Amino acid sequence: MEERKFCQCCAMPLDKPEDKGTEAGGTLSEDYCRYCYQNGAFTAPDATMDDIIAFNLKFNAENGHPFGPQEEAEKMMRGWFPTLKRWRKG
């Protein structure tokens, strides 16, 4: 079974081709979703990891908590996001 891929910025699952962002030449990105990355660039280049976590927590609250209770969701994101390509240090 193939390992599930997630956006390396916001952690959205990249399960379908239409979920993926695009590179400058129009090919699909293997690393980023369509919301975070288009035409080879981040859609919010100045966003911080905290900004993306806050956005995801807002989505979580507005959509019936698919990531679990807010406190647990935030704890999970703060543990996972620093491992994503966009937020890795060094």
Determine, yes or no, domain membership for 28: yes
Cβ atoms within 10 Å of 55's Cβ, excluding its own: 14
Domains in the chain, number: 1
DSSP lists the bridge partners of residue 13 as 6
Does pLDDT of 73 surpass 90?
yes
| Residue 2 covered by a domain | no
10-23 burial string, b = 16+ CB within 10 Å, else e? bbbebeeeebbbbb
Is 53 contained in some domain? yes
pLDDT, mean of residues 34-46: 97
- pLDDT beyond 80 at 55: yes
User: Is residue 44 situated within a structural domain?
Assistant: yes
Please give the model's pTM, rounded to 2 decimal places. Answer: 0.91
Boundaries of domain holding 25: 17-83
Specify if 37 maps to a domain.
yes
In a domain, 1, yes or no: no
> What's residue 90's pLDDT?
63
